[in-house]
Amino acid sequence: MDDQVLSGSGIFKVELWGRTPGMTNEFKQIDEESGQSVDGKFELTVSENGKYQFYTIAVDRAGNRELPPAEKYDCQTIYVSNCPGNAIIVISDTEGASFYTVTGNNVYRHLINRNFSLVENPLARMSDPLDQIKYFNPYSKKHVGNDMLLEKMKFSYQALVQHSIESWALDKMTYLGGPLYIILIGHAIQDKFILNSSEYLEAWELDASLNKLENDMQKAGISHPIVVIIGACYSGSFIDDLSKPGNRIILTSTSENEVSYRGIRAPDGSRDGEFFITNLFNHFGKGINLRASFERAALLTQANSEKMVVTDFDLDIAMQHPLLDDNFDGNGSNRLFPGGDGDKAKSIVLKHSVGSNEPLVFLDAGVEDVNLSETINIYLTIQNTRDVSLAWIEIKKPNSDDSSGETISVPLYMNKLTNRFETKYKKLDKYGKYTFLYYSKSTSDTIAMYSKPVFFYKLKPGNNEPEPFELISPEDNSIQYTLLKLDWNKSKDPDYNPLTYSILFCMDNNLFETKNTIRIDGLVKNTYIANLPSESWDGRDIYWKVLAIDQFGAVRESGIRMFRTDNRNTEVFWIECQLKDATDNEPITNGRVAVRKESTGINELLLDYHHEGYHSTVMTFVSPSMNYQIIASAPGYYSETESNITVEVSSLLEREIFLRPVSLQGDLSDDGKVDIVDGLIGLQILSGKSLQTIHRKRSVSNKIINISTAIYILQKISEH
């Protein structure tokens, strides 16, 4: 207190002055204490989210008043009604740790900027003073906010992670609330996340820690979402172990059998270790919900891992498929449909609280042809240019992948005349498709990326357009749900170049140039289940067409058709099955697929046949508890039945069904193929051994297994 108060005739009262959210620069008196009740403590109940600043004024019995503080307030605090959450970030201490550190630091900054640290001062909040983030990174121990040095003294790395989930997270969720985010970044093998050279965190161990946490949360009467995000190779293998009814949401950067791609080096020398995770948080950190953030990051991951040459055996052009599971069926989804995976993730948002740094806002990006594809101008427009410390593009050249050296990084420079970041690029030294991914780094070192790739084709002289093709379904002027199936004939390329397809939808006109246009690129198959926006596109005239594009950019457009959407107050779902021969993986074109409700056992619905073994139909949704059966058959094949199938409203149920030939010569093991196993069985029989299960009808004579059978089997093996 001021000297004039201390030298007076004793304290008469103490006034509390404050400034609440939304107030002007003026403070007002909130409370006061006088007489014997003066103890310097005040209790204040608030309800409005935001920043509160306070100071006290002491008044002595002679009427002398303490002066307000020169700094305008004595203390301040931030109140939020909903805690943004708590997080555990774990980095592999393995090869590539420096790259994974770039990813981990980026995630950490996004969480801090979304007020995981309830402190206004930018420097102070980076240290996470309330310990809302456990950041474990053995490689970068000196990073602000890293908990590794203190905690590693008590636990092994594996025990440290498990203790944080089972104990630390429970305390934080009990007293602060909010979702828990568990983010693993680094190396993995099937069902194992590699912590260091001697320690793993296995899928079952992570599940056990989550089970303990959830059981203790239930005892404490709390319920908050738990979001597990794994950025590593083969991370999709964790989903079947972690998927469980309740509040779990699981995201992985790949399917169970795929590798996870890193980003390229930025012009400043840094390299991102986990492309998908960085792009997920680039969107999630802007306040975009988790489902939409996943979809945008998955689209960019497709462009980053795109195959330059596709075949008829490929389902799409991507080599990496991030997955999301929150419907607890143990199967993650790359494409999300209403009623399926992604519905719970839609409600998960990193709320933008007080004191957050505003993320960089991308307005536009593109490529301008300056000189007949010899020189192009590449540009990126960012709203808050003063907050940009670095901007660059990643260029993926034709016939390149991340390991070939054909993916390069080029800096962009601010053009004050156009107020854009730009560069002139002249090294279009190959014909074909160039993919551009746009990046920037803020002054707070947070990496951001433009939400979609940009493509540019350098046309090859003498290259011919793909051959004409026709749309098949839906019929012109038909009525369709916003969830619908499209089919078209395959196009052929006269130069034998591989083709991909793009679908364009346009609402209310056939110009395909308005903001009401949706484009879907990179399709390999000539069939697609489309899920148009159910609210804004229902009850409208929708025009559509398909483009066949070869690898050098030659395009053949189909005709244009129109359908009218009408969801008719009926909830539906789609079933699509493809029949294949179990021996050679070829489509079965004369098969039959039916579906029926298990509760009735009757009323089979025959799926419509389209082409290449595909059968599909749209069905009325009854109940999430309804079980279905799929029955598949074909002349000359054993039939197959799958039971206990459940579906979600507005979802797509996809199945690939393999049928075994009724009589396959040489298949002595009855496994649907002729291979080395059958050869060994035949040789054992000829040597005099007696085996229990031998299918003699599969021998050459249908009765006797002799040298002719063995020779036939060896010939079939040599053909493969």
CATH number at residue 220: 3.40.50.1460
Structural domain includes residue 353: no
Q: 103 and 69 share a domain?
A: no
Amino acid at 58: A
Q: Mention every residue, 6+ apart, whose C-beta is less than 8 A from residue 90.
A: 136, 161, 182, 183, 184, 185, 186, 193, 195, 201
| pLDDT(275) > 50 | yes
- Domain of residue 611, residue span: 572-659
pLDDT for position 402: 42
- Average pLDDT in the 648-662 region? 82
Report the pLDDT value the prediction gives residue 448, as an integer from 0 to 100.
82
The confidence band for 367, taking pLDDT boundaries of 50, 70 and 90, is very high
Q: Is the pLDDT of residue 356 over 50?
A: no
Pairwise pLDDT comparison (122 vs 699), residue with the higher score: 122
DSSP label of 237: G
Average pLDDT value for residue range 329-349: 88
pLDDT digits (tens, 9 = 90+) for 535-552: 889 999 999 999 999 989
Element at 150 (helix H, strand E):
helix 148-151
Q: Report whether pLDDT(695) > 60.
A: no
175, amino acid identity: Y
Total domains in the chain come to: 6
Percent of the chain with pLDDT over 90: 42
Q: Residue 123: pLDDT above 50?
A: yes
pLDDT over 60 at 153, yes or no? no
Average pLDDT, the chain: 84
Mean pLDDT, rounded, for 456-465: 93
What pLDDT, on the 0 to 100 scale, is given for residue 401? 46
Assess whether 204 and 67 both reside in one domain.
no
The per-residue pLDDT for 608 is 82
Does 425 fall in a domain?
Answer: yes
Residues 626, 559 share a domain = no
554 vs 648, more confident: 554
**Whether the predicted pLDDT of 1 surpasses 50:** no
**Cα separation, 424 vs 193, whole angstroms:** 43
DSSP state of 316: B
Whether residue 187 is found in the same domain as residue 305? yes
pLDDT of residue 674: 72
Annotate 11-66 with DSSP letters as a single string. Answer: EEEEEEEEE-TT--S--EEEEEEEGGG-SS-------S-EEEEEEEEEEETT--BP
Average pLDDT of the segment spanning 83-104: 91
Question: In this structure, is residue 9 part of a structural domain?
Answer: yes
- Categorize the per-residue pLDDT at 355 as very low, low, confident or very high, splitting at 50, 70 and 90: very low
pLDDT surpassing 90 at residue 192: yes
- Of 169-178, 297-306, 393-402, 468-477, which one has max mean pLDDT? 468-477
- Residue 570, pLDDT above cutoff 80: no
| Same domain? 491 vs 389 | no
Section 667-692 average pLDDT: 69
- Say which CATH number the domain at 375 has: 2.60.40.10
* End position of a domain, from candidates 565, 595, 610: 565
pLDDT in tens, 618-646: 887 777 778 889 999 998 898 999 988 88
**Residue 541: its pLDDT value, please?**
95
Q: What is the pLDDT of residue 684?
A: 75
Report pLDDT for 9: 66
What is the model's pTM? 0.72
Who wins on pLDDT, 229 or 359?
229
From 524, 547, 565, the end of a domain falls on: 565
What does DSSP say about strands 188-189 and 192-194: parallel, antiparallel, or unpaired?
Answer: antiparallel
* Confidence class for position 715, pLDDT limits 50, 70, 90: confident
The CATH number of residue 655's host domain is: 2.60.40.1120
Distance, CA of 261 to CA of 304 (rounded, Å): 8
For residue 292, give the H/E element and its range: helix 290-304
Q: Which residues of 399-408 are buried (b: 16+ CB within 10 A; e: fewer)?
A: ebbbeeeebe
- Does residue 133 lie in a domain region? yes
Residues 375 and 396 in one domain: yes
**One domain for residues 109 and 239:** yes
Say whether both 64 and 103 belong to one domain: no
Distance CA 288, CA 251 (A): 16
Evaluate whether residue 669 is within a structural domain. no
pLDDT in tens, 528-538: 989 898 888 99
Regarding whether 339 and 240 lie in a shared domain, the answer is yes
Q: Which residues fall within 8 angstroms of residue 334, CB to CB, at 6 or more apart? A: 255, 298, 321, 322, 323
Span between the terminal Cα atoms of the chain, in Å = 91
pLDDT, tens digit, for every residue of 587-606?
999 999 999 887 665 567 88
Which of residues 715 and 54 earns the better pLDDT score? Answer: 54
What confidence tier does 403 reach under pLDDT thresholds 50, 70, 90? very low
Last residue of a domain, one of 79, 99, 121: 79
- Output the pLDDT for position 129: 66
Q: Flag whether 307 is in a domain.
A: yes
Are residues 277 and 331 located together in one domain of the fold?
yes
481 vs 407, residue with greater confidence: 481
Instruction: Please give the radius of gyration of the chain, using alpha carbons only, rounded to the nearest integer.
Output: 31
Residue 486 clears pLDDT 50, i.e. is over it:
yes
Nearest to residue 529, comparing CAs of 465, 474, 581, 491?
A: 474
> Do 136 and 180 sit in the same domain of this protein?
yes
> Which neighbouring-strand residues pair with 580?
587, 658
* Strands 86-91 and 133-136, bridge-based pairing: parallel
The CATH number that applies at residue 73 is 2.60.40
- Asked whether residue 356 is assigned to any structural domain, the reply reads no
User: What CA–CA distance (Å, rounded) separates 358 from 387?
Assistant: 9
Q: Predicted confidence band at 309 (pLDDT cuts at 50, 70, 90)?
A: low
Average pLDDT, integer, range 671-680: 73
Q: Is 329 within a domain?
A: yes
Q: What is the pLDDT of residue 35?
A: 79
Residue 496 sits in the same domain as residue 604? no
